[in-house]
Amino acid sequence: MTQANSEKNNNVLQDIWQNLQLAFRLYGDPRVSMLLKTMAPVVALAYIIMPIDLLPDFIPVLGQLDEVAIILLLVRLFISLAPPEVVAEYRGEAPASAGTGAGSQAKSNEPKPAREDVIDADFRVVKDA
């Protein structure tokens, strides 16, 4: 029973960490709306600065947990509002529309856009005598 609980906690922490990494990558992607990139931090900052809290800050641990919960919810909201194809690309998944519909056959023949972190070059093997 305790092993199952620790695995569940580990999965939750891993999910939080992956969502934070994904949100960080989405902030750097130009395909994500600038409005979305600015609204999530503004709402989080407004909640943290705002004098009205869900749980008062003078309660030792619970007072800070509501800020953490709001930030985690905003990260999830940011990911869900980001373009699904960009999110799927960063998660390493196929887009939800891939393989469905009549246009999927034509799309598969189109060349994919070049990535900046890939070097495409020709090479030849030179045998030493």
Higher per-residue pLDDT: 88 or 59: 88
- Is it the case that residue 59 has pLDDT exceeding 50? yes
Cα distance between residue 30 and residue 51, in whole Å: 34
Q: What is the pLDDT of residue 38?
A: 92
Cα distance between residue 56 and residue 66, in whole Å: 9
pLDDT-based confidence at residue 5 (cuts at 50, 70, 90): low
- Is it the case that residue 35 has pLDDT exceeding 80? yes
Interval 76-108: pLDDT, tens: 999 999 999 999 999 987 554 544 444 444 445
Residue 69 contacts residue 75 (beta carbons within 8 Å): no
Residue 43 contacts residue 74 (beta carbons within 8 Å): yes
Q: What is the pLDDT of residue 86?
A: 93
